[in-house]
């Protein structure tokens, strides 16, 4: 009797059936010739491999991440590829100019990318145009134009980002952007010839360190325009030395914070009204973040009644946060320092 029950039980296993409470067998899959149970929940087809037909099986690791081939459920995913990877480098570009680059966006996956958006860029990088549709199908491409327009010397970085939906789930793709701002600025001095102002006050853009300074249309023929900057009346014998300053912050010029390594060019026209009186000169000074003078580069002194054009160029030392122009006149007669200045210019250059 026991032997008969064992035979019946074996028959149930071979037939792929299991008894239930009603005594009726339920199909669990056919077993082919030569196949059998491994006893561990898998089926062996006789050659020691998993007989899984044309499908693959997803196994999950202890951390909940996919640890094997994804299950072939028939559902694919979009794969958005941005050209010119891994980083789009615009290279060196002259400041205050711009360069456009065309990027190709391709869906190399096997499902649609829906709700596709090109996110805006900030700073020196900007999106100038895009023909990307809201849905990008498998194998389809579109184009995005990105512009680089540096205003500062130094390296710049950004990131182009795309947002889309993958079967209703949020997804994204990105491409790092890089570029280098180089070249030369325009004139950084405000009102370098005294053309702005009413003639009776300190010239616009300047501050008096010693003595009274004004602008005038008389006394000497201007080198440029119709006015010059001149030491004015003090109605006393003090001071003997007149000083006028204009400070230029370097923060807007570089991406690294100070002006270390930047070359500054300086030009100024200067003369006294009368030969032998009230000699004039100027200096370009490099100041630290605390305001101390790191370097001072004076021009030649002029004691003639002829305009002298003084020029020079110097590389700013480390920790230069301010470049300062100083106009100087030493009073020798009367109640004013009758030294005139015109055409003051400073510009900066950096090429990496």
Selection from 81, 92, 192, 101 nearest residue 142 by Cα: 81
Q: Which long-range contacts (CB under 8 A, 24 or more apart) does 145-148 make?
A: 145/100, 145/101, 145/102, 145/103, 146/88, 146/100, 146/101, 146/103, 146/121, 146/177, 147/98, 147/99, 147/100, 147/101, 148/90, 148/93, 148/98, 148/99, 148/101, 148/124, 148/177, 148/179
User: Is the model's pLDDT at 260 over the cut of 80?
Assistant: yes
Whether 51 has a pLDDT exceeding 50, the answer reads no
Mean pLDDT of 208-214: 91
Q: What is the pLDDT of residue 161?
A: 95
Q: What pLDDT was estimated at residue 200?
A: 80
According to the model, what pLDDT value does residue 86 have?
85
Q: Which residue has better confidence, 215 or 26? A: 215
pLDDT-derived band at 120 (thresholds 50, 70, 90) equals confident
Q: Please tell me the predicted confidence (pLDDT) of residue 236.
A: 59
Q: pLDDT confidence of 302, banded at 50, 70, 90?
A: very high
For residue 3, what pLDDT is reported? 37
* pLDDT, mean of residues 114-124: 92
Provide the mean pLDDT of the chain.
82
Q: Residue 173: which H helix or E strand, with range?
A: strand 169-184
pLDDT at 323 over 80: yes
3-state secondary structure at position 13: helix
Task: Give the per-residue pLDDT at 18.
Answer: 40
Query: Does the pLDDT value for residue 21 go beyond 80?
Result: no
């Amino acid at each position: 009797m026991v032997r008969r029950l064992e035979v019946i039980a074996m028959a149930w296993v071979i037939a792929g059936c299991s008894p239930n409470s009603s005594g009726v067998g339920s199909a669990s899959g056919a077993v082919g010739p030569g196949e059998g149970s491994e006893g561990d929940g898998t089926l062996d087809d006789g050659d020691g491999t998993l007989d899984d037909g044309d499908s693959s099986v997803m196994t999950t690791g202890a951390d909940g991440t996919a640890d094997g081939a994804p299950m072939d459920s028939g559902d694919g995913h979009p794969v958005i590829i941005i050209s010119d990877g891994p980083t789009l480098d615009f290279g060196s570009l002259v400041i205050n100019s711009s360069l456009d680059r065309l990027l190709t966006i391709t869906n190399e996956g096997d499902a649609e990318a829906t709700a596709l958006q090109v996110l805006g860029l900030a700073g020196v990088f900007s999106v100038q145009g895009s023909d990307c549709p809201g849905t990008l199908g498998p194998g389809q491409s579109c184009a995005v134009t990105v512009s680089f327009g540096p205003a500062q010397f130094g390296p710049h970085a950004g990131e182009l980002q795309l947002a889309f939906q993958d079967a209703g789930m949020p997804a994204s793709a990105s491409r790092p952007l890089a570029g280098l701002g180089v070249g030369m600025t325009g004139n950084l001095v405000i009102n370098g010839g005294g053309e702005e102002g009413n003639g009776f006050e300190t010239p616009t853009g300047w501050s008096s360190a010693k003595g009274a300074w004004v602008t005038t249309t008389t006394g000497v023929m201007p080198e440029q325009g119709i006015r010059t900057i001149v030491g004015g009346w003090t109605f006393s014998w003090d001071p003997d030395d007149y000083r006028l300053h204009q400070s230029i912050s370097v923060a807007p010029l570089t991406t690294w914070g100070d002006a270390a390594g930047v070359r500054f060019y300086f030009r100024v026209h200067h003369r006294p009204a009368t030969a032998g009186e009230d000699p004039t000169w100027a200096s370009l000074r490099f100041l630290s973040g605390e305001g101390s003078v790191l370097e001072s580069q004076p021009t030649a002194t002029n004691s003639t009644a002829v305009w002298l054009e003084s020029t020079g160029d110097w590389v700013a030392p480390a920790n230069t946060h301010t470049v300062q122009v100083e106009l100087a006149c030493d009073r020798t007669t009367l109640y004013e320092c009758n030294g005139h200045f015109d055409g003051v210019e400073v510009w900066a250059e950096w090429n990496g």
